[in-house]
Amino acid sequence: MIKLAIHGACGRMGQRIAALALQDEAFQLVAAVDRSGHPLLGQDIGSLAAGKEVGVKVTDSLSADAEVLIDFSLPAGAISCAQFCRKEGIPLVVGTTGMGEAEKQRLREASAKIPIVVAANMSLGVNLLFKLAGQVAQALGDAYDIEIVETHHRFKKDAPSGTALELARQIAQAKSWDFPACLEHGREGKESLRRDKTIGMHAVRLGDTVGDHSVCFGALGETIELRHSAHTRDTFAHGALHAARWIANQPAGWYNMCDVLGL
């Protein structure tokens, strides 16, 4: 049984991960952590996430008792987790999005000492989409325009989503285009013709949408669309727990969900 800690435990994803971990015999939930000052500090995470007390209170202190830590918080929180896990030798799964290159570099530095899975999206289907987007982009010529549209719930803070950016990165890598310079975020004005060798990026925030991503390739005469729709956050929560099981036995290093899933 893996001793698991969750950072960002009071968020939408954190609560779903906690609920599913409490049902999974592979895990013992030993810590639920959120930011200092959070109104739910001191509450039992079982009551919050699964409707019954389990004896684990939400705290603002990371626990060295954990054997794996899952982080779904904010970029600054993910960096704090990485520093703590590096010091304590705890494997880390990071699902937090919205990080810049400097923050990702801090995680890479920590991965020299501990195993870290960093994923913009933890669903199997989306990680297959990453692979397919790159393959299609490589197979098609530059005569095909490329547009990415992502839709999420109204409460999502960062835009575009980490998944949309990873899709664009995979495409740019396959095309040998400069990323992120090749991105065009939306369009407006009377002179807004698309430029060659660019990827259009569009973020929609709509109601309670869990997550939709479309990659469109269009030429004069045809359109090809790759699309993934997440119907529930459990898709990502199951992926995070799968990553936690996998990383518990890995050496120090930088991993993604394709490594976890063997893609």
List of domains in the chain: 2-118+233-261 (3.40.50.720), 124-230 (3.30.360.10)
How many of the other CB atoms lie within 10 Å of CB of 6?
33
Concerning whether 152 is annotated as a catalytic residue, the answer is yes
Q: In the annotation, is 113 catalytic?
A: no
What value does the mean pLDDT take over residues 116-121? 92
- Alpha-carbon torsion (112, 114, 119, 124), positive or negative: positive
Q: What are phi and psi of 149, to 5 degrees?
A: -120, 125
Alpha helices in 51-120 (DSSP H): 75-88, 101-110
Taking alpha carbons only, the member of 93, 126, 112, 97 closest to residue 247 is 93
The torsion defined by the Cα of 56, 62, 68 and 73, in degrees rounded to 10, comes to 90
- Helix spans in the chain (H): 12-23, 45-50, 75-88, 101-110, 124-139, 162-175, 234-247, 257-261
Q: 237 with 11: CB under 8 angstroms?
A: no
Catalytic residue among 38, 104, 113, 156: 156
Residues 11 and 4: their CA atoms lie apart, in Å, by 17
The pLDDT of residue 5 is: 97
pLDDT at 71 over 90: yes
193-215: per-residue pLDDT in tens? 999 999 999 999 999 999 999 99
- Over residues 158-189, the pLDDT tens digits come to 999 989 999 999 999 999 999 999 999 999 99
What rounded mean pLDDT belongs to the chain? 95
Find the catalytic residue in 7, 152, 175, 228.
Answer: 152
Mean per-residue pLDDT, 115-129: 92
